Amino acid sequence: MVGSWLTRWLTESGAYTVAFIADSDPQSELMRSGTINKVNVVNGRLENYDDIERAINNHEVDSIFHLGAQPIVGAADRSPRHTFESNIQGTWNLLDACRTLSPLVKRIIVASSDKAYGTQPVLPYTEDMSMNGDHPYEVSKSCTDLISTTYARTYGTPVTIARCGNIYGGGDLNWNRIVPGTFRSLLRGEQPVLRSDGTFIRDYLHVDDIVSAYLALGEQTDNPEFAGQGFNFSDESPLTVMQIYKAICAAAGRADTAPNILNAASSEIKDQYLDSTKAHEVLGWHASVSLEDGLKKSFDWYRALLTGKK
């Protein structure tokens, strides 16, 4: 999802853009918007070093947004090896290719997650906290961040790390996530399902805001002062799962719909939310999309995808 919208912004801004893609999905925003026809596509896998080096070297890439990962907590629990290979090995492959091809690559922005902090005794998360993941997905993100910092401090690799909470918006096709899953259930006339008990607390950030965050961070990443540093991105308005659920239903015009509460979430940190003071002060970045507007835009996208109505 994020890659689709970021790529669209880059191409519309006139950037020579290369998309590194393992698998294609005709329903993805990258395909549906036609952006795929405006970029150079390299097919490959993060687990294969030669694929990454070929993409960077052949296209003389100077700026990299490292968004590729296995992003689903449940999938990580079922197949930790694949998640570690994709998220951890994939990151060191990328950074080592950038080290080898230096000084061609001027900036690398690594897309991380609040999950990298793991369970902490005090919230919100701040950038001076340790990487403390426990479960497979969390550990994969903790390792991603530590490896990125290692390359910056040892080899001077120009890499920064972006951490955010739950990103939502049109184009997210992971239906087990609460925003797309609830919209799909409502559009199908089905009862939406909550995996948790509804009390878990999370950040929710619209994809437009995270694209602007990555771009703001990218503008500073070639500054040696910021090499290896992490930045939190949040609207700093954390919500319970039940609160976001009600807002989703309201955006779809179904505010009175009761969910099926499974209370079966596993390998999930109960409460997670971020402090973005550093991003405000250093990057001048602030979230600009309200929850109401973001969910309305998202619902319009899913309605067009699932029903053909705009």
What is the mean predicted confidence (pLDDT) over 23-40?
Answer: 93
123/138 Cα distance (integer angstroms): 17
Residue 310: the pLDDT is 74
Backbone angles phi, psi at 129, to 5 degrees: -80, 155
- Reported as a single tens digit per residue, the pLDDT across 146-183 is 999 999 999 999 999 999 999 999 999 999 999 999 99
- Predicted confidence band of residue 308 (pLDDT cuts 50, 70, 90): confident
- Reported as a single tens digit per residue, the pLDDT across 112-136 is 999 999 999 999 999 999 999 999 9
Q: State the catalytic residue, choosing from 49, 117, 125, 137.
A: 137
**Can you give the C-alpha Rg of the chain in angstroms?**
19
271/200 Cα distance (integer angstroms): 6
- CA dihedral (296, 302, 307, 310) in degrees, to 10, reads 50
Omega before 103 cis (within 30°)?
Answer: yes
19/64 Cα distance (integer angstroms): 10
Residue 306: the pLDDT is 95
206 pLDDT exceeds 80?
yes
What is the mean predicted confidence (pLDDT) over 55-60?
Answer: 97
Residue 267: the pLDDT is 73
Q: Look up 302 and say whether it is catalytic.
A: no
Using DSSP's 3-state secondary structure scheme, residue 277 falls into helix
177/72 Cα distance (integer angstroms): 9
Omega before 124 cis (within 30°)?
Answer: yes
20/17 Cα distance (integer angstroms): 10
Domains and CATH numbers, the chain: 2-168+204-235+272-288 (3.40.50.720)
